[in-house]
Structure 1
Amino acid sequence: MKLAANLSMLFTEQPLLERFSAAKAAGFNAVEIQFPYVERIADIKTQLNIHDLKCVLINVPAGDLMEGGEGLASVPGKEAEFAAALVECLSYVTSLRIKRVNVLPGRCMDESKRELYLSTFKRNLDTAAQMFKPLGVTVTFEAINTFDMPGFLIHNVQQMLDVIEESDHDNIKMQFDIYHMARMEEGDVSAIISRLGNKIGHIQFADVPGRGEPGTGELDFKSIFYAIEYSSYEGWVGAEYKPTKYTEDTLRWKQFITSSIAMCS
């Protein structure tokens, strides 16, 4: 299994540019960063090169989303801002050789406008897919649970499948966040991954309900990692959780991967 450390959530005891070395020391060969735009491209590239790491995923800038706003990708009238966000993202993607870009749909707080927001999001997502396809980049989009982000436009697996079905771009896939989908879905996330692995462009994980490391909540990560390992999914798996103690002291979940593989032998 190809594991990546999410540097926006792990190793936060240190400044961002110092987290690369921490991730490498902890045994990761790849990282992902939610919003790397606070750091210069050259500085990130230096850290990747020094520590022989790949950056496998970043998000397109999302405007005011993380401060409680609607974001950019689905908001009518913000198409120009979203286009500018794509250009900024493109500069990081080309320089850092990133092959996955995630578009956060954002919020729609007025249910009567949902269809308008959804159609705006689909157009913007298609624009992103068209821009990045010549670079061999897969564009993902993420469903987020409405407990943590009320009003989030896309919040379950079926909605993601519907968007993919309606698009003509084959480089659009779902970003499957195990934490968010376990909170929203009625059913087993392992079964969903087994069934839909070829439609998933990136996987991230944290336990439920507290979003801590595996083993701190309700999810059976032996079965989940087994499902990932033996599904048709071939991408990276991002550790995107809130450590309950120093990050280096929360990595015992890696033994679940060994156990899950042993289940097949």
Structure 2
Amino acid sequence: MGRWWWKTAALVAITALLLRSYGGDVIGVGWDKESLLKWMSDLSDKLGIWAIPLYISAHTLSIALCLPSTIFLETGASLIFGFLTSVICVFSAKILAASLSFSIGRLIFRNSTSAMDWAQRNKYFKILSNGVARDGWKFVLLARFSPVPSYIINYTLAATEVRFFLDFLLPTVVGCLPMILQNTSIGSLAGAAVATASGSKKSQFWSYFFPIVGILSSVLISLRIKKYSSQISVPEISSKKDNTAESK
């Protein structure tokens, strides 16, 4: 686990240095979304190709630190990088943040009895713990499709006995895709609408095509998972009925 602390420290240091060098104006911008988005776009122009690793680092840290900026960063990414690049950037940040949060959480919960006692008294932890014990990776996959913020799931699952690679990481890779496609598509469609309103003819078809495909994909995947979740709940109901019948 020690290597994760070195990686985290390096990630924070690199992000801080880049922001100090190129992001001095952000203090004056404040947290106004339009001004901040303009600052991000200007920063992207200044950094060039380095804007991508900076964005991934910033988004990774925002999730690991439980900051309420995930949706804004994901919708804003497509306005800055374009739809396909933003999907890759957001996906990379999500996976890195999940791995980092899980490692930090497991380190804390396994070395602090007070933190573990607090988790065991939490009703949400009991739900996740029981679900993981019963269904393993299937429950983790379904949790990723829930409206619960990803950072809560990351840290809560770290307190359970779930295995990192098979039960946590692989379901996360699949489960995070619908929300990523949805959020980046919203930002891309907004950018395409603005470009159309301003009279720009540049790549209008592709500006709408990929986001619409992204939204349709997220809807289809979500419906598939909903159908799957209803199917795995049937054996539980039937087993309860069988137990009731046997008791009679």
Task: Provide the TM-score with structure 2 as the length reference.
Answer: 0.33
Q: Higher relative contact order at CA 8 Å, sep ≥6: structure 1 or structure 2? A: 2
Q: Which has the higher helix share?
A: 2
TM-score normalised by L of structure 1: 0.32
Larger Rg: 2
- Whose strand fraction is larger, Structure 1's or Structure 2's? 1
